Amino acid sequence: MPSFDVRFIKTVCDDTGHEHRACQAAFKVDAVSLSSAAQLAEADFCRQKGVRDWTIFADSMELRTPPALPSAWGG
């Protein structure tokens, strides 16, 4: 089963008006597909924050498949 790295991101402005992306949570999800990983991540994030809608705390969600480890055999 593939693993996905998940980050929930909130865009915030600093005192000069410049936008910055702030990570609200980051964790790993094991799921059979990208869409399944998104659903699991949303549920986990909401459970952690005690809310029904993750967009209260974040503007976007990033899902990435971790890079493959280099072969131990070198080829």
Q: Residue 7 pairs with which residues in a beta bridge? A: 26, 62
pLDDT score at 65: 85
What whole-number distance in Å separates Cα of residue 5 and Cα of residue 41? 10
Query: Is 27 part of a structural domain of the chain?
Result: yes
pLDDT score at 61: 96
Confirm if 32 and 39 have CB atoms less than 8 A apart.
no
Residue tagged 């899902």 (tokens)? 63
**The pTM of the whole model exceeds 0.75:** yes
Question: In terms of residue numbers, what domain contains 32?
Answer: 3-64
pLDDT tens track, the chain, 75 positions: 889 999 999 999 999 999 999 999 998 999 999 899 999 999 999 999 999 999 999 999 999 986 765 655 555
- The residue type found at 10 is K
Looking at the 3D structure of the chain, how many domains does it have?
A: 1
Query: Is 71 part of a structural domain of the chain?
Result: no
How many Cβ atoms are within 10 Å of 4's Cβ, its own excluded? Answer: 21
pLDDT score at 1: 81
pLDDT score at 2: 84
Query: Is 70 part of a structural domain of the chain?
Result: no
Query: Is 40 part of a structural domain of the chain?
Result: yes
Compute the radius of gyration of the chain from its Cα atoms.
15
